[in-house]
Structure 1
């Protein structure tokens, strides 16, 4: 199986690569459109600020490539947010794969939300073998509003989308590569889709 992690300068790439190795697979890092298109599975990571990350995607033309992918694609954290229609951070138009907006947590909440939190209302093969209320690791100041494509939720002052799916595109707000056994299981489930 060819697994490609999209390399666009905004990733928690090494920890994802190591998590995939622990599952018995190898992944390559690439920003090459043809290499990404020919992969069996694509992982779209992201850590950082939305408008800067989007500029990096546009500079390589990957903003046009990613929405056309036909194989399973997993967006992680900022990667998931960039697949949405719009992000308040930096007043950024996203890739428009998911019809959802990304907004900032309200002022009274401590941001970023850092640490372990529960996921629930799980409804996807991504969560096979995962219990309702399982803990995962999150670090974020912006969140995806609940929408028709939500497949898991989390509560932090407000209920928000912690995972999303449309066709072959999946996104998780949490970091599966840092979420212990549950995260490894979710990553493994994605690789089996």
Structure 2
């Protein structure tokens, strides 16, 4: 009986030693003083905003047609900005592409993106589509649909009064800073 109990103790000691040796992976750096494994820092691709998303902004009327306006952040990257991560090391912040969808009552969609404004943006490469404003007052009237582009982390922006021709082609007209706002200002 003593031999049987002694065999069980030896077997359990053997198995426990084997498990400890398997948990230390020789390819991972470890602290020999404590026997703990150091975690390697894995670079994470950082996005602004962090997740893809869609949002319904409202309804706008263009050329006697009502459109539901939605915005969408996609996985496409339109701008990369140098940054510093939490460890103090150089990093890159990837700005997601923002799309603006105009959806009519037949579910036909006109999609506005940065590329459509390429010929109207002097600083095209450094701009991102930031958002839309609906039925916004101007000093001379109002703009049913304004699409604006800004340089990330700045107030350097371009705003466009966007209209559609009869075929659905966008007609962007840049809004001068002096015209933006209301007559009361």
Shorter-chain TM-score range: under 0.3
**TM-score, scaled to structure 2:** 0.22
Q: Where is the helix percentage greater, Structure 1 or Structure 2?
A: 1
**Which has the higher Rg, Structure 1 or Structure 2?**
2
